[in-house]
Structure 1
Amino acid sequence: MRTSTRLRQMLDQPGLIVAPGAYDGFSARLIEAAGFRCVYMTGAGTAASHLGQPDLGLATLTEMANHASHLAACVTLPVIADADTGYGNVLNVVRTVREYERAGVAGLHIEDQVAPKKCGHIAGKQIIPTQEFCDKIRAAAEYRTDPDFVIIARTDARAVTNLDDAIERGNRAAEAGADVIFVEAPQTLDEIQRVAREVKAPLLANMV
């Protein structure tokens, strides 16, 4: 069974999926050895370990896809990989999805920051218009070759505009075809609970 199919089956079940962040093959193997069911290839961790640089959009599509392929080859678990902004416009997103599928990961996330992006916990981020974000997500969903490949839409709107905008973007992205919505950087437990109530899709929460 493909790891993408296994991940989708996990998403169809109730409860949480805990996916610790991996930055190289060794950390991915430690996650598997510890008994977790899924691995998340962190973009910040990859930039730090692979380039020795902060997460400022310096890693290219080729570098990230190659790194993802190494992690996926090291473990039997589904690997979800950070794909930053999709590395360009809608056409670039289509190529990104194909390269990540070829890398053997089970899914990816694409975010709504202006390129070059910044780590979600760094000030000064900018976001693209909602419609442009949704066009990217729609392209990712429509042009994946594996129907089980999981598309996660991440919005950084909470830190740039407000939570209302983040929730609206999440729901719009779900309508565009995202399988999971990732609202980055909620500030309180109440905000996390509100996202869970108002976003009509499976959710990802990032704990740093």
Structure 2
Amino acid sequence: MDKKIRLRELINAPESFMVPGAYDAMSALLIEELGFQAIYATGAGISNAQLGWADVGLTSMKEAVDIVARITDVTSIPVIADIDTGFGNAINVIRTVREFERAGIAGLQIEDQVSPKKCGHFNNKSVISKEEMVNKIHAIVDARQDENLVIIARTDALAVNGVEDAIDRAKAYKAAGADVLFVEAPTSLEQMKAITDSLEGIPQLLNLVEGAKTPIISLKEAEKLGYQIVLCANTALRASIQGVKQALSILKTDESQENLNDAICSWEDRQKLFKLNQINEWEEKYLSIEPKEEVKNV
């Protein structure tokens, strides 16, 4: 099935679903292997893992789209790309959409922060005008090659101007052509309910960041509140940081690999994840050369 159509089916289904964030092809493979139905290519994770810097808008469009293309190439489930602010104004957004769509995404998420943006759970954010963001969404609608490409419109206005402005902006973004609304960083269950009640009937996304501004709730609790998508954008990244630190600490302390078996994946699991069997099959099919028959002189 086409990945864009599959993502739309998930959004329109009666039950909610959870989307973990991937920061590279490896983390995307693990998300699919463990049975999740979609992948979120996280801008924060890409900035952290690929650049070694916090999520403050330092990643270029080309750097992000290259990682996303690698993710879509090795997975078979829908990928939602975080395109930050669209990497510029509405004209830049046109090129951004075309580049990411060519990379094989099923959906994209764009936010209304001033560029360069910041992580949605950082302080001291700024937002562009509602009208400028509406024009960016119009540009996406006009630029996309496939009308099934899902548009997720995020507003960071709650932390800047309050919940009423955030809701007002979300309604305007829906009218402009957004398929899913994403009011970033509600700080209480009461705010979450106020948002979902005000936007009832429109698919909504909740971003849960461990230890940040929004209370952590379960998928079922989010579904009861009216959210269709629960985003866990950097859970995998933070788990990998912790896992690498633990393994390296053992290696540094013991000066030996003898006690690492419980801290690292097995050799077999590694090769299975990275499709060594597929490569072996290709080698057998394409690299083996049949011996030629000896030509006899007559």
Q: Would you call these one fold, judging by a TM-score over 0.5? A: yes
CA offsets 1:19-42 (integer angstroms, 9 cap, x no match): 101111111111111111001111
**Alpha carbons 1:42, 1:82 under 8 Å: kept:** yes
**Hey, what does 1:190 align to over in structure 2?**
190
Query: Given residue 206 of structure 2, which amino acid in structure 1 is its aligned partner?
Result: A
Query: Given residue 21 of structure 1, which amino acid in structure 2 is its aligned partner?
Result: G
**Alpha carbons 1:138, 1:178 under 8 Å: kept:** no
**Hey, what does 1:162 align to over in structure 2?**
162
Query: Given residue 94 of structure 1, which amino acid in structure 2 is its aligned partner?
Result: I
Moved more, 109-118 or 194-203: 194-203
Secondary structure class of the residue paired with 1:152: strand
**Alpha carbons 1:110, 1:152 under 8 Å: kept:** yes
CA offsets 1:103-160 (integer angstroms, 9 cap, x no match): 1011111100000001111111100000001110111112211111011100000111
Secondary structure class of the residue paired with 2:19: coil
Secondary structure class of the residue paired with 1:21: strand
**Hey, what does 1:49 align to over in structure 2?**
49
User: What aligned pairs does 1:127-166 form with structure 2 within 5 A after superposition?
Assistant: 127-166=127-166
**Hey, what does 2:87 align to over in structure 1?**
87
Q: Structure 2: how far apart are the matches of 1:26 and 1:79?
A: 14
Secondary structure class of the residue paired with 1:87: coil
Q: Structure 2: how far apart are the matches of 1:26 and 1:66?
A: 14
Query: Given residue 203 of structure 2, which amino acid in structure 1 is its aligned partner?
Result: P
Secondary structure class of the residue paired with 1:168: helix
Shift, 1:17, TM fit: 1.8
**Hey, what does 2:58 align to over in structure 1?**
58
**Hey, what does 1:27 align to over in structure 2?**
27
**Alpha carbons 1:167, 1:195 under 8 Å: kept:** yes
Give the TM-score normalised by structure 2. Answer: 0.69
Moved more, 40-49 or 1-10: 1-10
**Hey, what does 1:172 align to over in structure 2?**
172
Secondary structure class of the residue paired with 2:50: helix
Query: Given residue 179 of structure 1, which amino acid in structure 2 is its aligned partner?
Result: D
Moved more, 175-184 or 3-12: 3-12
Identity of aligned residues (%): 48
Q: Structure 2: how far apart are the matches of 1:168 and 1:199?
A: 10
Secondary structure class of the residue paired with 2:17: coil
Q: Structure 1: how far apart are the matches of 2:7 and 2:168?
A: 26
**Hey, what does 1:105 align to over in structure 2?**
105
Q: Structure 2: how far apart are the matches of 1:96 and 1:15?
A: 31
Give the TM-score normalised by structure 1. Answer: 0.98
Note the residue ranges of structure 2 that are not aligned, 5 or more in a row. Answer: 210-298
Shift, 1:186, TM fit: 0.3
**Hey, what does 1:39 align to over in structure 2?**
39
**Hey, what does 2:204 align to over in structure 1?**
203
Q: Structure 1: how far apart are the matches of 2:4 and 2:49?
A: 26
Aligned Cα RMSD in Å?
0.9
Q: How many residues align?
A: 208
Note the residue ranges of structure 1 that are not aligned, 5 or more in a row. Answer: none
Secondary structure class of the residue paired with 2:18: coil
Q: Structure 2: how far apart are the matches of 1:137 and 1:15?
A: 27
